[in-house]
């Protein structure tokens, strides 16, 4: 599912229950990472639930894959993958993910620990492009 489709679906989801249900549905679409990728190097430090993110580059475009033990976190990973997948370093640096998440109406429903987890995921992406986000 791409970024525009997610935006459309979230716009139609009302309240936390609707958005939560959509995140769980999105989680089902995330293929699991191979067991060999579920390692400390790919682990997202700062995420309340155990989660992993692999980052690669193909023709200067980021390639992301992820997994988590939590369905909500998996759904959030799907959102972030849709936002960043296939982008160049310049496009990633120019994208204001925090504002995007606010516009989707998600940030007000996330607990502090889940919000920190989202920041940790974004931070791992920025670390991969050589520019940590603060």
Task: Report pLDDT for 134.
Answer: 36
- Given the structure tokens 């990728």, which residue do they identify? 37
108-127: pLDDT as tens digits: 888 888 899 999 999 999 99
What domains can you pick out in the chain, each with its CATH number?
Answer: 3-128 (3.90.1010.10)
- Cα 30 to Cα 36: distance, rounded to the nearest angstrom: 17
The pTM of this model reads 0.91
pLDDT at position 132 is: 35
Is 47 part of the annotated catalytic residue set? Answer: yes
Q: Catalytic: which of 47, 53, 64, 106?
A: 47
């Amino acid at each position: 599912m791409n970024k525009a489709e997610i935006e459309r679906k979230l716009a139609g989801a009302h309240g936390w229950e609707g958005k939560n249900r959509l995140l769980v549905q999105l989680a089902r679409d995330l293929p699991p990472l191979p067991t060999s990728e579920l390692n400390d190097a790919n682990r997202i430090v700062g995420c309340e639930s155990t989660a992993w993110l692999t980052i690669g580059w193909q023709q200067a475009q980021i390639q992301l894959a992820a997994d988590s033990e939590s369905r909500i976190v998996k759904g959030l990973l799907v959102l972030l993958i849709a936002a960043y997948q296939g982008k160049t370093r310049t496009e990633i640096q120019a994208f204001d993910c925090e504002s995007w998440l606010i516009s989707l109406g998600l940030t007000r429903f996330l607990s502090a620990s889940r919000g920190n987890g989202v920041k940790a995921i974004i931070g791992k992406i920025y670390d991969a492009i050589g520019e940590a986000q603060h």
